[in-house]
Amino acid sequence: MSKFKTLIRLNTPVNIISSSSVVGNREVEGPLGKFFDITLSDDRFGMKTYEQAESQMVKMSCESTLNKCKYTYGDIDLIIGGDLQNQCVGHSFAVADSNSQYMGIYGACSSMAQGLVLSSLLIDSGHFSNILTSASSHFSTSERQFRFPLEYGLQRTPTSQTTVTGAGSFILSSNIPSDIKVTSALIGIITDRGIKDANNMGAAMACAALDTLQRYFAQSDNKESDFDLILTGDLGIEGASIVRETCHTYSLSLGDNYKDCGELIFDSEKQCVFSGGSGCGCSAVVLASYVMELLKKREIKRVLFVGTGALLSSGSVLQKMSIPGIAHLVEIVRS
């Protein structure tokens, strides 16, 4: 195996200097509601279409993140972004008038983690000092793109997840100090266990999360208990329970410090969300708001964030293809 197929310890830990989250009304009614920066009660956000609403949400999240550290787009060397819309147009339209260098990524619901991994590595290269990275999803754009028109009133299965309406973004920097830093990163390897049920993406992604966590702990001096929070995003209730039940077969010992963004964002008993949250926006807003707040308040100091993605399209599901999963990891430490 190539020696580089391993955990990357950054030469210089990369500062997370700002983050922000924008969510819809269902998300703000959930247990983490008070942590989000901006909420809009209307699914359209005053735009003509849900798709434009998602772009608007990304814009607002990026601008809020910039404002928090008194930056403008002119201070940013590069924007890295991804969403679930076909051809990632959510971000294309969101950043089209930013006059910023831009790279689109696609990692399905792992996009926030992929963006953080990539931003950290690029800053560590010395060629960039400030990178804005963003991920988003929107319930209504996803429903009609991946499933059925909203008006159809589809009956859901218990293992199906609810796409989060949300956009989260981070600014990573080499030249502005911060007590919160990305210290290492691990890029995911696609796992495919032959799962074909698009209403059980948690199962498809759980193996990817376990695989990445196993690779991390096999190469790191850290133990699971060294972390205040090991956070997957977003397996939902079904996927997270698979992780808890099978982690020992991956030589992993996950305890109460293991959580999943898809479980945290909604109250599954009170809110009609089936197996919890999903979508690029889910882990993006949970990390950008709740987790960052806990880090700032020193309630937690060490976080392993494992973004998980289900690599399907509505076409691949109709063609009865399996659902490969991927999980990218970043280690975030508060000094």
Query: What does the binding site for its own copies look like in residue numbers (CB under 8 A)?
Result: 1-2, 4-5, 8, 11, 48-49, 51-52, 74-78, 82, 84-89, 92-93, 95-108, 114, 117-118, 121-122, 124-130, 145, 187-190, 192, 311-316, 319, 321, 324, 326, 328
Nearer residue to its own copies within complex by CB, 100 or 257: 100
Paired tokens of 39: 């909420």
In angstroms and rounded to an integer, the radius of gyration of the C-alpha atoms of the chain is 18
Nearer residue to its own copies within complex by CB, 74 or 177: 74
Minimal distance, residue 160 CB to its own copies, in Å: 18
Paired tokens of 137: 């999803």
What contacts 168, CB < 8 A, 6 or more positions away?
Answer: 19, 20, 21, 22, 61, 112, 134, 135, 136, 281, 283, 284, 285, 286, 287, 288, 289
Please name which of 174, 147, 141 lies closest in space to residue 160, comparing C-alpha atoms. Answer: 147
Minimal distance, residue 98 CB to its own copies, in Å: 8
Q: Name the pairing type of β-strands 162-163 and 180-186.
A: unpaired
Nearer residue to its own copies within complex by CB, 46 or 315: 315
* 280 CA to centre of own chain: 5
Q: Report how far residue 323's alpha carbon sits from residue 309's, in angstroms, rounded to the nearest whole number.
A: 10
Paired tokens of 68: 């928090």
Nearer residue to its own copies within complex by CB, 41 or 49: 49
Minimal distance, residue 297 CB to its own copies, in Å: 31
Minimal distance, residue 264 CB to its own copies, in Å: 25
Minimal distance, residue 11 CB to its own copies, in Å: 7
Nearer residue to its own copies within complex by CB, 145 or 159: 145
